Chains A and B, each alone.
Chain A
Amino acid sequence: AQSVTQPDIHITVSEGASLELRCNYSYGATPYLFWYVQSPGQGLQLLLKYFSGDTLVQGIKGFEAEFKRSQSSFNLRKPSVHWSDAAEYFCAIMDTGRRALTFGSGTRLQVQP
């Protein structure tokens, strides 16, 4: 069965600093990977996705993620964090049958002024 691990429950960064959120997955074949963001009390918004091809994918709001098959990782990055980026971030993998998502437990990002 597939699984996703987000090792960091909570991260605090200063505004303007760079950010990297970690995501590791377990899956037997080429994974379809996603990053979602959830602001407090809101639904989920897709930041970016990876299916194949270029291993560095660009998303919305200045985010990018790099797929590394050798490390089973799909880490999310942003060069300069803004206060509005404070939210919870979820990494997810899609199964090839139902096309349902398996989510990691999330990383809560706090941004200090």
Chain B
Amino acid sequence: NAGVTQTPKFQVLKTGQSMTLQCAQDMNHNSMYWYRQDPGMGLRLIYYSASEGTTDKGEVPNGYNVSRLNKREFSLRLESAAPSQTSVYFCASRAPAPELAASSYEQYFGPGTRLTVT
């Protein structure tokens, strides 16, 4: 049981290049999330997916697209990278939420992808 995995761990892009960050979870969770972490700002939600085939924008979606093709995987794509997208990206997943099961609210985070755009 690996939990939440992310690839790659590190990436350097030039302005205008594209790339896809991969995220997978093996906990059979429905909900998955992408956050970015910038110094002094905590983590901010980019996109989230409540279930396979559904996605919704978060707080900072501009410049990103996502894909949830199956229950396990949730990818984040930068079509034309910009220096402002230099950040650490975290993927997270959350168990289904029977309302009285407090443990279902916990989000499990991957190790992160450190992206630099020059």
Contacts and interface: CB of A to CB of B under 8 A. Distances in A.
Interface string B51-69: 0000010100000000000
B79 interface: no
A105 interface: yes
A98 B56 contact: yes
Contacts of B12: none
Instruction: State which size class the interface on A falls in.
Output: 20 to 34
A103 B112 CA distance: 16
B41 interface: yes
B interface majority secondary structure:
strand
B43 interface: yes
Contacts, number: 56
A103 B109 contact: no
A98 B105 CA distance: 11
B50 A90 contact: no
Interface string B33-51: 1010000111111001010
Nearest to B49: A98
Given A103-B43, A103-B44, A49 B106 contact: yes
Contacts of A49: 102, 105-106
Given A4-B42, A46-B107, 8 more contacts: A43-B90, A43-B109, A43-B110, A98-B56, A98-B58, A99-B31, A100-B45, A101-B45
Interface of B: 31, 33, 35, 40-45, 48, 50, 56, 58, 90, 94, 97, 102, 105-107, 109-112
